[in-house]
Every structure is written in C-alpha cells, then in structure tokens.
Structure 1
Amino acid sequence: MTHANSTQTPKARTQGLKLLATSTIALSTVLFAVPMANAEMHSPVKRADGPTKLVTSLMGQPKGSAIAAEIEDRVMEGRIDETLGDKVSPGAKAAARQAYAQGVFAPLWTREAAEKLMLANPTCQENGFDSGFTDDELRAAIDDRFTGDAGQRASGDLKLTATWLVIASRMSGGLSDEGGMVRSTDARPTRSDLVTALRDAGQSDPIKAMERFSSLSPQYDMLKDALKHYRQHAANGGWMKIRDGKDMLEPGMDDPRVPALRERLKAESCFNPSPLKWQYASLDLDMGFAPTVYDDELVDQVKAFQAAHGLEQDGVLGPATLAALNESVESKIDRIQRSMNHWRKNANLGERHVWVNIPSYRVEGWNNGVREITMDTIVGKKRTPSNAFSDEIEYIVVNPKWFLPIGLFKRQKLRKLRKDPGYAARHNYVVYDRATRAKVNPYDIDWTEPGISRKIQMVQTPGPHNALGQLKIIFPNKHSIYLHDTPDRHLFERDVRALSSGCIRLQDPVAMANWLTDGDEGVSTEVFNTTLESRERERFYLDRHVQVHLTYLPAVVSPEGRVEFPADIYQQFKKPTLANGTYSDDIRPEDDSNDLLVETYDESGHRTDTLQ
C-alpha cells in the first residue's frame, strides 16, 4: 500500500516540516505569552477540562490553509490587540490569542454562528446597554469573513472575534479581574472560561455564549423585566406633568387637578386607580362619584406611589410627591439601566449574602438565590451618610458597649457635658482617659479644654439603654459602619428613615443574627440566644463569613415584586428629567362603556347586555 505523502519530493517534505515547525513555535509562543488566570477570581461558568475541538468542516477553510496562515501572521503581529484597543481588558486579549493558538490559527467563525451575531443589538437592548456597534457594522464584519481573498477573510474573522469580545465584555461588566466593589465580589470569568466561550460563540451560538457572562444577581433579571415594562410605557407615549397648585392637595379636597392625577397614575399602570370606578364615571352614572374630589381610593393609590418612591406616605400631593409624579418615563428607564449596570459590574454577591440598599431603607438576606429574610432599616442622615461598599460579616457582639466616635462626641455630647457633667452618669456613660485607660470622674474634667474630645473616651455600658441595643453585627471596614439594634424602636414607624450617624439600624436584629448563625459550625444559635438573654457581653465569630453589600441604587425591585425608585436622600443620583407637556384641568375620561357590558343569552337565544 502506498502512503499519500510518498509521492512528495524531498524538497516538498522539507518545506512541510519547516511550516509545521514554524506553526509549533508560534503556538508555543502565544500559549506561553498568556498569563495564568488570577487565582482569586470567581467564575460563573464551568471551566473546560481541555481545549474545545474546532469543527473544521464548518469553517470553510481547513487547518493549515492560506487563511490560517494569514490569521497566524495577524495574531503574531498583535493586530487583534490593536483592533481591540482599550475596549476590553488585557486578559480578554490574551484569551483571543489563546483561542486562535489552540486551533492552530484556523478561523473561529462559521457562517451560521456569524449570522446569529446580528441578534446582538436587540439582546443588548434587553439588557439595558448599547453594544457599541450598528447593525451595518455587524453585517460588514460578517461579509468580510466570507468574501474576498485569504487576507480579507482572516481580517474578517478577527473582526468578528473582536466584536464579540467587546459586547461580551459589556454584558459581563468586564472580562477579567480589574476591580469592583471589592475583589472578593468579582465574578468575572477567568481567561480559560473565556477561551471556551469564545470558541463556542464562533462555532454555535454567540448570543448564548455571551449571556453566560450576564449578572448572577436576582435583582438583575427582575430589573430586566421592569425595563421591558417601562419601555412599553414609553412606546405608549409615557405621561405628562401635573401642574403645580396654590395649595398642597390633601385628602378630601375638591381640586381641578384631581382628574390629571388620576390620568397620571393610570398611565403608569402599577399605580393605576380602580378602572371600574373610573369607567362608571365615564358612563356618567349617578354613583356618588365626583371626578374632582380627592377621595379615599385615590389617596390609597398615591400612598402606594409614595411608598415606591421613598416618600412620606401621607397621601398629600406636596412638592416632593409632585416632583416624583412629574419625572419622565425616560428618566425612570435610565434609572433601571443604571441599576442593571451596577449588577453587571458586581455580579457575584455570594451564595449567602446580606444586601442593604441604603435609600430603600431595607435589608435582605439571600441564600442560594432565595430571599430568606427582609426587614426595614434606619440609615445615615444626610450630614452623616451611610457609605456604599462590600465586605464580609465576621462576628456578632451581643450586649455590646458603645464606644462613642470622636466626631459624634463633639457634635452631640460635648455641649451637654459642658452644661452638666452629670449627663454622663444619667445616660450610663463611663469616661476614660485615652492615654492611661483609667476611669475619670466627669466632674473632674475641664470640658472647655481645647482638644478634650481626643483626650477622653466615653463608653456606654451594655443594657436596654445602650444606643446599639442588644447586638451589633461586625464587618471591619474603614468607615466604621456596622449593622446594629437600637432602643429607639419608634423610629421604624416613620416612612423616611435617614436618621442615624452612619451605621445601619435593624428592625429585627435578633432575627438577622439568628439567620447568620443558623447552620454555622462556629456558632450555636441556641447558645447565642441564651447569652443574649443573660445580658453578658460576648463575641461570636462566624466560621463561615457572610458577604454584605451596601448599595445606593436608583431603582430596585421590592420583595413584593414592585419596581421602586427610591428618593435620592444624599443627592447622588443623576438629576431626573421631567415629562413633556402638562395635563389640563378639563380631562374627561374616555368612554369605556362597552368594556362594562357583557353579552349574555337566555334559553330562547335573546341577547341581553349586563353591566359588570
């Protein structure tokens, strides 16, 4: 039997060996040029056990062809890095080089997969961001891949790869470990995952491959649905403004702006007043309904609107509520997209984590994608704001002492002590000399002495009087912020609760502590609760640290599934835009009488219309 290569001349065989040697050296060079994936990174995608096999029959060009040689030249010359520029991370560029090297520089993109890339723009729109490419640019890249000479086809393949990497990078919030709230929360894929995804994209489904890198946050998918909902509002024309009035509109008042208020809430369907009552009015029936009276039913709808916008739920149409009502639908869409962008950049919250959205006055505990606990919070005042950051809960202190921070002491206590040193004992404070740690009699201190706040330390003893309440939950951080109890339980009755000195007060701290300790091998929940009741001061260190995330987001979805747009208590959000146009005072509801009639037929076949 004669081998196929036995007919080659010695010169041809020598050239073939040289080509193989050159490709092998190039492959080694590219592979060894790729840095190791950062060991600290977390991946939402299962890592590949080995290189993906390229389906060369689908490529239109076999390995070792002219197009592969052209791709090899371009990769080795760094042209793909030039094409990508600063649009992706260095790790993403390295993944592209490695993907080509593993396939011995065969083209990555099949025609079928390339055509599917035309779905990128609608996919990006659904996810609240812009791809950065027009449909014409996507089509041009596809055409380049499959037309022209080998050089043009090679350039087209690299262009498709670069396009996919840029879009996937935007989908994931970044394709390598380059920061975030803290390194431990970063779930961006490591390069080995990205190599696999890139080669899968080119051979099967690029959209599915990039969606593997979308946010893992439960909020992200809920906001994605909200975005679709509010874009439909925009497509329907959105809403207009309600004009300002001489007086605030209070329950029971007769005001010509009431029909405009009804129309505004009707336009944003999640705060829609009863359509049945509205329709009865449109039939002009004598139902005792006055269209310009601010009645109880409409008041309840306004209160629901106020609750979803972080406002005082008094049902009064004052300046703050009017401003929220007059925010445009486009502005709310922008809020949703900004929140989605946050979750893309901070994708991995941890399987078990605590989340506080500061302006929502709420904390939630999540476990494996399920919200298991939620409660109200009190957050920092405008002049002492709560910071947004992420960390890990390490321990819980039960029956804590309160060591007053210097700044708080100067703002709230020094003036009182100057007037009356007995204030310390009456409020269960012990005063210490910072230098010697010895107790000091408050009456022996010159409270007017310059710098006295840095010379003494005030400590409040444990007990029901303590400002920290029964416990505090600690995640050591530079802001000195933690979660804690409070003896001022009445403050949770307020709707607007920016009242603390920066820390987060919990409505039910014991329930949160029990949730944290439940199943933790280092802490017995039973022993924890017994110690709590004993009023003995003790620290309980968690064997399993729990991630905690404090955010300041302009749009969230509540535990009830309601889209919320919290009030900007610290003036950190983008200034909202106002709706176009203003409702008139003579709005008449559309005649929806036919919607109230139901066709029925008796036994003889006669039709009757019943008012529903």
Structure 2
Amino acid sequence: MAETHAPLKRVDGPAIVVESMLGEPKGSEIAAAIEARVMADRIDMTLGKAVSPGAKEAARLAYAQGVFAPIWTRDAAEKLVDANATCKENGIDSGYTDAQIRAAIDARFMGNADARADGDLMLTATWLIMASKLSGGLSDEGGMVKSTMTGPTRSDLVVALRKAGQSDPIATMKEFSSLAPQYSKLRDALKTYRDHAANGGWMKIRDGKEMLEPGMNDPRVPALRERLKAEGYIQPAAFNFFMPVLDDLPETAPTVYDETLAVKVQAFQAAHGLKQDGVIGPATLAALNESVESKIDRIERAMNHWRSRSDLGERHIWVNIPSYRAEAWTGDRLDIAMDTIVGKKRTPTTAFSDEIEYIVANPKWFLPIGLFKRQKLRKLRKDPGYAARHNYVVYDRASGAKVNPHTIDWNEPGVSRKIQMVQTPGPHNALGQLKIIFPNKHSIYLHDTPDRHLFERDVRALSSGCVRLLDPVKMANWLTDGDEGVSTEVFNTTLQSRERERFYLDKHVQVHLTYLPAVVNPDGHVEFPADIYQQFKKPTLAKGTYPDDIVEEQEDLYVEIDGESGSRSDTLQ
C-alpha cells in the first residue's frame, strides 16, 4: 500500500505575493540572481537528497510562478525561527540550528543581491526539509492538480511553499502532520516523557535473590515506590493524563510490599504487556529499569511510523500486534476496541497493510502444511481416528478425492504434501463462526476462535500467525453496517444457520497490522508493549541504582508522658 502524508488542501487561483513585504519589486537584481540560481539547478545542490525530486521541482515552480521574485517576506522568515521547536515537539531533528536559520534570514534581508538570493533559497530549503520530515516524506511529486475553477493550475506543494514564505510557515508546516488518530496522542505523550526526563527521570531497582511478591518485607520496596512516582503512577490525579493509576498511596510501612502498592505495579504491568500479577520478576524488573530516554525513543519511533502512514482510510481496522488489541475507526472516531490473540514467537503475525474484501460465515479450516506437520502429524501417526473425532475430513491433494485416514501410511515421507486436512464448519472449528479476509501472501486474516478462555490471559501470543478476535461478530457487523452491498441481517442469519457463505464487501476497508513500541490506548493511557518478537530497538537502562532503605529492628522505647509510662516504637526513615 502506498505511504502518504497528510493531504494538503488545494488552493486555486493566483499565488499570493505581498510585494511591500519582500523588500524588492519583481524584476530587481535579486530576482535576476534567483533566476540564475534556479536555472543553474542551485536548488538541487542546496537540497541534495533531503527531499524528493518532486519537492525540488515544486520549489522551481514556486519561483517561476512568481517571476523569480523572493518567496520569503521578513515577517514570515522571522516566524521560521520557531520551526525548530515545532520539529522537536514532533520528535524530529530538523538538521538546522537556530543560528543557521538566523544566518539565512540575515543574508536574505541584509546582504547584496547575490547574498539575498542565496538567503531566500536557503529559507526555502529549510522549510521544505522540515516539512518533508514532518510529513514522513513529501509524496507530492510536483505534478499539477487540475483546478476546479477557471484559472491556472499548480501543485499543492507549490501553493503551500508560497503560502509559508508570505504568511505563516509554522502553521503551513503543521498542515503536513500525520492525520493518524494515534499521532497527536503520542505527541502529547512525548511531551510528558520529556518532562519526566527534565525532572531527572528515574534510576534502576537492584535485582534481589528472589522475586518481590505482595505481602513481602523487602528493602527494595522504597525504591519501587520512588520508581513508580517518577513515571506518574503514584501522583495526584491532575498530574498526568497518560498514566493509568494516578492517586497517591496512603502511608504504609516503608519496606512492606502491600496490596495498595501492588495495584500500582499491576497498572504498570498492564501498560507494558506483562502478566498483571503484581510480582516483580525478571520481566517486570527489566521494564521498570528501562530508562526514560529509551521510552522517549520508543515514542519518537512510533510517531515516525504514523508520519509515513497518515492516510489510513476513512474507515479502517488497526491491530497493534504486541498490544493484543484491535480497533475499528471511522475518521478520528473510535468505534470498537477489543482484545486479540496473535502469533507465537515461532509463528509470528506479520505487520503489513491491506484491504478487507470479504467475510466468510461458518468457514471450513484448510490446515496449512507447516501447521499440519507441527501439530497434527504426530497425533495421526499414533491414532488415525483423531481426524474424525476432531471433525477433520482428509483429501488427496492430487485427485481431490476424500480419503479414509485409516488407509493412509502417516509415516510415509512427504505425506504432509500429499493430503489436505479440512475441518468442517461449526462451533468446534478452529476459526470459529467467521473469518475476515484481506488476501495476502502471509495467509493472515482476522477470525473467531472456540478457545475463548485464552482471552483471560494477559500475554496472548498464542496463535499460528492469524489474529483471533474477542468479539468477531461485532467487528463483522461493523463492516457490514458500513457497506451497501451486504445486509447485516442476512449475514447474522447465515451465521446462525451454520451454512458456509462468503459476503463480499461493496467497498473495501483498509486494515493495518503494526508492530509499534509505543501506543496510546483507548483510555488515553500510554503503553509500551512487551517486545514479543524481539523486533524493537534494545532498550537502554536507567543510570544509577536506588539505594535500599533498610529498616533496623529496635526494641520498644519507653518514655514517660505526663507522669505515665508508655511504649513508643520509632521507625527510622
């Protein structure tokens, strides 16, 4: 599927030129100097490989349409100084320093004609490179867009560039931001984690001789409490919208791992794709010890993904594989969110984008050869009756004829390629009631499952590669409700009849399977999924280690208060 940035709004009619703000009228020495540079392909030399060939062509067109007058007014150029801040808040390194931008502005308005021409081209290059990075790569190849009105036609990027140079380059640049619903949420999360970094981040919790479980008394508990405070899991409710548990802990014995603190740990585990048992084992300790800088890098990587994949489709389904969640969207409205089961480590679910074409009600299951060899062949060698008991029909691949499994030599070399096992439709079928198909070379699709109990697990990398849905009927009805060619009522009636039938969608719906290291969940909480397939960049560890708060046992201290004897047990903090 083509990768696109946020579509630009087309502006028809003649380009805007604020001559009083340019400093020079058309036809002046600076225009001649700009024309000479454009004709000598100075734009190519200035931009290099930083932008697409089409973006360079758009720059040439922008100057030519203005008869080579400067594009940049002083007011607009001064605003460009703030562009680095815009890039930073979007997780982008612009490649320019504020001093370099200021030098280009000075050259544009303070030098001779040649210097001013060079300054104008540098400002144009600066804006184009920043806009290209913000968009994930400008896909407008400079082609002309046909006007809906009488008058000249021009590419969207030409209009955007001239608008930037004569009014507000920051606002125009922001029009290139990703339209993906996740993008703005991740941008807010990035600010939150940069604030954590500015406040010092956090340190590591040392490893212990045993796992830390609720109810234990352990000198590492104060370190655990400080670590959770540092990331906002223990803070006043107004502190951070992106943390799932935000209320303060009550006073408790410093080294006792009580149930209240365990609830905070479970929230942390949920946000990191870990078993939510409150136990600080190796996986949870590793997640706690990941540095704030590493998490910032995760967020920036996720944002970079959405920059280059902004056009998800008006109606689309998104599955982030390590998050075990599928979401259905209409525009920027979340319609459905549900749990998923994804591929095991040895049979991973592949990340890719495609289009949903049809739904199969009451499907048969045609076992893939690899899965048959791994899971079924051994069982059939021991007992050919396994096939009938589990509702499998065996066919000869060459002739298509049905074969009695008791007549097959299951120890024959290559037998797995000679037969085809098919599981009949019904509640016993491994695909459940339905499957949602987007034909692809990976043989991956969305489907039901009879193994409903598996959704009770926190870690759900359990399938042979396809994505199992917690409520597949709800997802299928979302697809049929939005389609003119399929009746939801007829579809649901067919499901109940247990008759096998395909329902082709009149309008295909985009589906996106991703493997992202950071997401914002439907509740607004930022998550850092566990790397179930070891595809993320290796996390860095926090610097320094929290010291243990070892509490010495003391004898009761007897004091005399107002002439009466009393007992007071003091705890060293």
TM-score with structure 1 setting the length = 0.85
| Matches of 1:231 and 1:354, distance apart in 2 | 30
What residue in structure 2 maps to residue 484 of structure 1? 447
Structure with greater helix share of residues = 1
Aligned counterpart in structure 1 of residue 325 of structure 2, from 343, 359, 362:
362
Instruction: After TM superposition, give the deviation of residue 53 of structure 1 in Å.
Output: 2.7
Distance 2:508 2:390 in 1: 35
- Structure 2: gaps (5+ residues): 142-152, 236-244, 552-573
From 46, 63, 67, give the equivalent of 2:9: 46
> Is 1:462–2:462 an aligned residue pair?
no
Superposition map of 1:527-546 within 5 A:
527-546=490-509
- Give the Cα–Cα distance (whole angstroms) in 2 for the partners of residues 93 and 486 of structure 1: 52
The match for 2:52 among 67, 89, 92 is 89
Q: Does the 8 Å CA contact 1:380/1:502 hold for their aligned counterparts?
A: yes
Among candidates 347, 351, 359, match of residue 314 of structure 2: 351
Within the candidate set 333, 337, 352, 1:389 is matched to 352
Matches of residues 174-185 of structure 1 in structure 2 within 5 Å?
174-176=137-139
The partner residue of 2:192 within 218, 223, 229 is: 229
Q: In the alignment, does 2:264 pair up with 1:301?
A: yes
Q: Which moved more, 1:113-122 or 1:268-277?
A: 268-277
Q: Within the alignment, does 1:525 sit opposite 2:488 as a pair?
A: yes
Tell me if the contact between 2:326 and 2:340 (Cα under 8 Å) persists in the aligned partners: yes
Cα deviation digits, residues 493-527 of structure 1 (max 9, x gap): 00000000000000000000001111310001011
* Structure of higher CA gyration radius: 1
Residues 57 and 299 (structure 1 numbering): CA distance in 2 closer, same or farther, change over 3 Å? same
Distance in 2 separating the partners of 1:339 and 1:346:
11
Secondary structure of 2:505's counterpart equals strand
Once the two structures are superposed, residues 383-415 of structure 1 have per-residue CA deviations (whole angstroms, 9 ceiling, x without a partner) of 000000001111000000000111111111111
Q: Report how far residue 191 of structure 1 moved.
A: 7.8
Q: Give the superposition deviation at 1:274.
A: 7.6
Q: How does 1:112-261 map to 2 (within 5 A)?
A: 112-176=75-139, 192-261=155-224
Larger mean Cα displacement after TM superposition, 446-455 or 77-86? 446-455
Q: What displacement does 1:587 show? A: 7.8
How far residue 56 of structure 1 moved from its aligned partner, in angstroms, is: 1.9
Q: Does 1:472 align with 2:458?
A: no
CA shift in 2, pair 1:177/1:463, >3 Å? farther
Change (3 A) 1:123 1:43: closer
CA distance in 1, matches of 2:359, 2:383: 35
In the aligned structure 2, how far is the partner of 1:42 from the partner of 1:171? Answer: 9
How far apart are the structure 2 equivalents of 1:274 and 1:194?
45
Tell me by how many angstroms 1:348 deviates.
Answer: 1.0
Distance in 2, matches of 1:262 and 1:489, equals 36
Shift of 1:48: 2.1
The residue type equivalent to 2:530 in the other structure is A
Taking a change above 3 Å as real, the CA distance of residues 71 and 562 of structure 1, as seen in their structure-2 partners, is same
**Counterpart-to-counterpart distance in 1, 2:77 and 2:433:** 61
RMSD of aligned residue pairs (Cα, Å):
1.7
Higher mean C-alpha displacement, 42-51 vs 331-340: 42-51
Matched letter for residue 222 of structure 1: K
Q: Give the partner amino acid of 1:403.
A: F
Query: How far did 1:582 drift?
Result: 0.9
Provide the rounded CA distance (Å) in 2 between the counterparts of 1:367 and 1:47: 23
Alpha-carbon contact 2:140-2:156 (below 8 Å) kept: no
Counterparts of 1:558-569 in structure 2 under 5 Å? 558-569=521-532
1:417 and 2:380 are equivalent in the alignment: yes
2:395 counterpart letter in structure 1: Y
Q: CA deviation at 1:290?
A: 2.0
Q: Distance in 2 between matches of 1:468 and 1:130?
A: 46
Q: 1:262 corresponds to which residue?
A: 225
Q: Quote the Cα distance in structure 2 between the aligned partners of 1:496 and 1:439.
A: 39
The CA deviation at 1:176 is 1.4
Report the CA distance shift for 1:192/1:458 in structure 2 as closer, same or farther (over 3 A): same
2:71 maps to 108
Give the SS at the match of 2:395: strand
**Which residue of structure 2 lines up, in the alignment, with residue 321 of structure 1?**
284
Once residues 462 and 175 of structure 2 are traced to their aligned partners in structure 1, the CA distance between those partners, rounded to angstroms, is 41
* Structure 2 residue aligned with 1:450: 413
Match of 2:241 in 1: none
TM-superposed CA distance for 1:270, in Å, is: 3.2
**For 1:258 and 1:214, how far apart are their aligned partners in 2?**
43
**In the aligned structure 2, how far is the partner of 1:373 from the partner of 1:400?**
23
Aligned residue in 2 for 1:286? none
The separation in 1 between residues aligned to 2:246 and 2:337, in whole angstroms, is: 30
1:498 and 2:474 are equivalent in the alignment: no
Distance 1:46 1:213 in 2: 10
CA distance in 2, matches of 1:405, 1:500: 13
The match for 2:255 among 274, 292, 296 is 292
1: CA distance, partners of 2:6 / 2:225: 49
What runs of 5+ residues in structure 1 fail to find an aligned partner? Answer: 1-38, 179-189, 282-288, 589-612
Residues 141 and 156 in structure 1, CA contact (< 8 A), matched pair in contact too: yes
Whichever residue aligns with residue 240 of structure 1, its letter is M
- 1:108-141: CA deviation from partner (whole Å, max 9, x where unpaired): 0001101111001111110111001011111111
Number of residue-to-residue matches in the alignment: 530
Q: Determine the structure 1 residue equivalent to 2:544.
A: 581
One-letter amino acid of the counterpart of residue 178, structure 2: S
The equivalent position to 2:371 in structure 1, one of 408, 411, 416, is 408
Query: Deviations along 1:147-205, whole A, 9 cap, x unmatched?
Result: 22211111111111011100100000001169xxxxxxxxxxx9811111100010011
Distance 1:40 1:263 in 2: 43
Change over 3 Å in CA distance of 1:276–1:50 after alignment to 2: closer
Distance 1:75 1:415, change over 3 A: same
AA partner of residue 491 (structure 2): F
- What is the TM-score of this pair, normalised by structure 2? 0.90
Preserved contact between residue 6 and residue 175 of structure 2 (Cα < 8 Å) = no
Mapping of residues 368-383 of structure 1, within 5 Å = 368-383=331-346
Instruction: Select the residue among 312, 320, 335 that pairs with 2:275.
Output: 312
Equivalent-residue separation in structure 2 for 1:456 and 1:567 (angstroms): 39
